[in-house]
Amino acid sequence: MTDSLHTAQAQRGQPQSHEPAWAQASTAAAITLQARQLVIGHGKRMVARGLELDIGAGQITALLGPNGAGKTTLFRTLLGLLPPLAGQLLLDGKELMQWPRRLLAQRLGYVPQGQANVFAYTVLDTVLMGRVARLGPLAQPGAYDRELAWHCLEQMGIAALAERSQSEISGGERQLALIARALAQQPAILVMDEPTASLDFGNQQRVLDQIQQLRDAGMAIVMSTHQPEHALAVADQIALLHDGRLLGPGPAQAIATAENLARIYRVTPEQLRRRLGFLLEGRDGFDAWAAQSRGS
Ligand SMILES: Nc1ncnc2c1ncn2[C@@H]1O[C@H](COP(=O)(O)OP(=O)(O)OP(=O)(O)O)[C@@H](O)[C@H]1O
């Protein structure tokens, strides 16, 4: 990040005077998201219950679960886009649904799954939309916002696409643009619904590297994936959502065992071991593989 970005960032980091005191106090500090006996679902239809979660700064939490288990439902609830059916959901100790929408948008970033609606905005404008929650009402993006947007495009390797319309780029490129938009938002907690889906091998690796860099910079990341090896490579804690219940979050070795993964994906542990090999063959194999993946 350039010096001018740092300076402007520091200026922008000043709490807005119209924010409630409890929100001001948590603007710059690491913030936490906690679920207590949370029940999630759509209307009267319950999807999962009894969920216990602690999301904190500098941590990657990976969520695994079969199709339809409720991962997106959980994420939309954590973001305040769906009301909890019961239980508690606390952002910095305050009920999430009590937070003003605009303040939530400054703290919680979202990279949604796929992209059903593709609008004809340019890639650069899409990334600039990440700045909306940070601007005053009716304010236009300024030089700082544009510089930051370019920086995020470069980080995701798509600066060359900046002026292209979203409707004229590939699904994988759109996915990278959505991640760049979330980076531009500079949230404390970033929720990513299958961030590596539709990406080629190299871009999967770059996104996983980016996620680890964000974690190392103090961001909290919550991500879902259908590729257990991605969770095993980067996550500090893993949770399995299955049959309306959450197992974990906890350490990979305790939660993402061959037996547990085989059960949720309805395969045999042998089939799973054939696919994931030594990743699941005990502590030594896992540690060696994880160290290699992290480049240490
Ligand atoms: N808007 C909705 N209204 C009612 N039910 C819904 C709605 N969206 C999803 N569901 C249902 O809620 C359950 C959980 O869906 P959800 O999309 O959260 O699963 P998921 O784990 O994200 O699945 P996938 O891995 O396939 O994306 C499914 O049974 C689904 O059919």
Q: Which of 40, 51, 64, 72 to mutate to test the pocket of ligand 1 (most atoms within 8 A of CB)?
A: 72
Q: What is the pLDDT of residue 275?
A: 79
Residue nearest to atom 7 of ligand 1 (CA): 42
Q: Three-class SS of residue 51?
A: strand
Give the C-alpha separation, 205 to 114, whole Å. Answer: 18
Can you give the pLDDT at residue 50?
A: 96
**71 CA distance to ligand 1 middle (Å):** 8
> Whole-angstrom distance between the N-terminal and C-terminal Cα of the chain?
24
Task: Give, for all 296 residues of the chain, the pLDDT tens digit.
Answer: 444 444 444 444 433 334 444 344 434 456 799 999 999 999 999 999 999 999 988 999 999 999 999 999 999 999 999 999 999 999 999 999 999 988 898 899 999 987 656 678 899 999 999 998 888 777 788 889 999 999 999 999 999 999 999 888 988 888 899 999 999 998 999 999 999 998 899 889 988 998 998 899 889 999 999 999 999 989 999 999 999 999 999 998 889 888 899 999 999 888 887 777 756 655 455 555 455 555 54
Task: Say what the pLDDT of residue 64 is.
Answer: 97
Given the CA of residue 241, which atom of ligand 1 is nearest to it? 21
Distance 42 CA to ligand 1 centre (A): 9
Q: Tell me, rounded to whole angstroms, the distance of Cα 32 from its chain centroid.
A: 14
Report pLDDT for 291. 56
pLDDT at residue 279, as a whole number: 64
In the structure, which protein residues have their CB atom closer than 6 angstroms to any atom of ligand 1?
42, 45, 47, 65, 67-73, 113
Q: What are phi and psi of 127, to 5 degrees?
A: -70, -40
> Are 256 and 227 in contact, with CB atoms under 8 Å apart?
no
- Please tell me whether residue 70 adopts helix, strand or coil conformation: coil
Q: 85, 39 in Cβ contact below 8 A? A: yes
pLDDT at residue 54, rounded to an integer:
94
Say how far apart CA 134 and CA 186 lie, in whole Å. Answer: 9
Sequence spans of domains, the chain: 32-256
Residue whose C-alpha is closest to residue 218's, from 56, 75, 58:
58
| Residue 258 confidence (pLDDT) | 84
Residues 6+ apart with CB under 8 A from 136: 16
How many Cβ atoms from other residues are within 10 Å of residue 146's Cβ?
14
State which ligand 1 atom lies nearest to the alpha carbon of 113. Answer: 27
The dihedral through the CA atoms of 88, 92, 94, 96 has a sign that is negative
pLDDT at residue 7, rounded to an integer: 41
Residue 62, SS3 per DSSP: strand
Residue with the nearest Cα to atom 6 of ligand 1? 42
At a CB cut-off of 8 Å and minimum separation 6, what does 251 contact?
237, 238
- 0.95 surpassed by complex ipTM: yes
- Specify the CATH architecture of the domain 32-256: 3-Layer(aba) Sandwich (3.40)
Question: What's residue 238's pLDDT?
Answer: 95
